[in-house]
Amino acid sequence: MSINAKQWLKLIHELPIKETVKIMNVCGGHERSITMSGIRGALPKNIELIPGPGCPVCICPEEDVYQAIQLALKEPITLVTYGDMLRVPVNVKKSDIKSLEQAKASGASVVPIASPMEAVKIANDHPDDTIVFFAAGFETTTAPTAAMIAQGIPDNLLLLLSGRLTWPAIALLLDSETPGFDALVAPGHVATVMGESEWDFVVTKHHLPAAIAGFTPETLLAAMYSVLRQKIENNYFLDNCYPELVLPEGNVWAKNTINKVMNVVDATWRGVGVIPKSGFELNENYRQSDVNVHFPNYRDEARNMAGKMPPGCDCAKVVLGKRYPNQCKLYGTACTPQHPIGPCMVSDEGACRIWWAGGLRESV
């Protein structure tokens, strides 16, 4: 018989936890479940749950968003992208267009989509038009993009590829002197695609407890119980608390598809900087679909600077788990879901947006 959330909470409260333990998650879906189900407030006071770099919209490089906006404004193309990307602001003068949403309002052809299949359909339905798919996202989104390409895409569909691997951001934190957490809850659907072994390094290299979780309160609490017990017993291992979907090797077909069409490259994360081997580019067999081949003058590397969030915005620290959303002085004052300043308040995966939706209205 499975253990319900109440029973997991009882088990956690019975653990002899003497010191503060900081548990980081690296998935917007996890943070949403934690916040909406009230797990944070139901745990013992000395357990902190820290939202880490789990929002692909938030860390999408500012220069990529800027490039998408400029392409949409200046070229006779239709730009398609996930709905979350439309409101992400770039750092420009007040009088300039600062989001894809504003570009659309000014007449640019910008179309929100929910699936790569829609990008293909739009390209097939408009064979005389050039369609640019601005494809941001982590592994769960990049694998479908790779599948779309591997299945064959029309010549008039081009890619602005901004996909990212999740684990290198955690590796970056752990390699730093101040990672800011004592245990990791690893993302269930990223691991479903990439396999549980991708997260072994947290235990083997950095000697921290780790557990993969799904998205119900039960599986999240099971993972939290696991890492806390590992810490108490000083016996660390990667626990898979989502075994119904996460296989040791992941979805091998999906991984092979990514490897077939993309190379892993060093890549910029907004607010963080360059993280080695954390991004993707189309490999030589598919490079003809790269938007930069067809429109080479829109890549402004001068914009590529670490920590480039909007002025006054603490998204960079929020993304890295160095600051809670409500510790940003803009939270709930200048920055709200209706008028977002930083990307963490824009995206449904952003910690600020999730905390706001969860009812937290005041900064501290």
Partner 1 sequence: MCLGIPMQIKSIDQFVARCEAKGVERDVNLFMMQGEPVEVGDFVMVHVGYAIQKMTEQQARSSWELYDEMLSSLEPNVEVGNA
Residues that bind partner 1 (CB under 8 A): 27-29, 32-33, 36-37, 54, 56-57, 82-84, 112-118, 136-138, 140-141, 143-144, 147-148, 150-151, 189, 192-193, 215-218, 244-245, 251-254, 257, 337-338, 348-349, 353, 356-358
For the chain, what percentages of helix, strand and coil (3-state, to nearest 5) are there? Answer: 45, 20, 35
- Name which of 29 and 52 has its Cβ closer to partner 1: 29
Considering the complex, state which of residue 87 and residue 231 has its C-beta at the smaller distance from partner 1: 87
**Nearest-approach distance from CB 79 to partner 1, in angstroms:** 14
- Is residue 322 classed as helix, strand or coil in its secondary structure? coil
- Dihedral, CA atoms, 71, 74, 77, 83, nearest 10 degrees? 50
CB of 140 to partner 1, least distance (A): 4
Residue (137 or 209) nearer to partner 1, CB: 137
Instruction: Between 113 and 315, name the residue whose CB sits nearer to partner 1.
Output: 113
Cα separation, 299 vs 183, whole angstroms: 38
Taking the least distance from each CB to partner 1, the nearer of 22 and 121 is: 121
Q: Which of 242, 230, 176 is nearest to 203 (CA)?
A: 230
Q: Report in angstroms how near the CB of residue 261 gets to partner 1 at its nearest.
A: 12
CB of 352 to partner 1, least distance (A): 12
Residue among 64 and 84 whose Cβ is closer to partner 1: 84
Kind plus residue range of the DSSP H or E element containing 134: strand 130-137
d(CA 211, CA 224): 8
Residue 121 beta carbon to partner 1: minimum distance, rounded to whole angstroms: 10
As measured in angstroms, the least distance from the Cβ of 349 to partner 1 is 5
Query: Minimum CB separation from partner 1 for residue 191, in Å?
Result: 10
Q: Are strands 262-269 and 273-282 parallel, antiparallel or unpaired?
A: antiparallel
d(CA 31, CA 51): 6
Residue 39: both structure tokens together: 């797990």
Residue given tokens 């999906």 in the structure block: 254
Toward partner 1, which CB reaches closer, 138 or 236? 138
Nearest approach, Cβ of 9 to partner 1 (angstroms)? 16
The answer to whether the beta carbons of residues 69 and 100 sit under 8 Å apart is yes
Tell me the helices (H) and strands (E) count for the chain, helix number first.
17, 11
Going 336 to 338 to 343 to 349, the CA torsion angle's sign is positive
Phi, psi (rounded to 5 degrees) for 16: -80, 80
Cβ proximity of 170 and 198 under 8 Å: no
**Is the CB of 54 or the CB of 168 nearer to partner 1?**
54
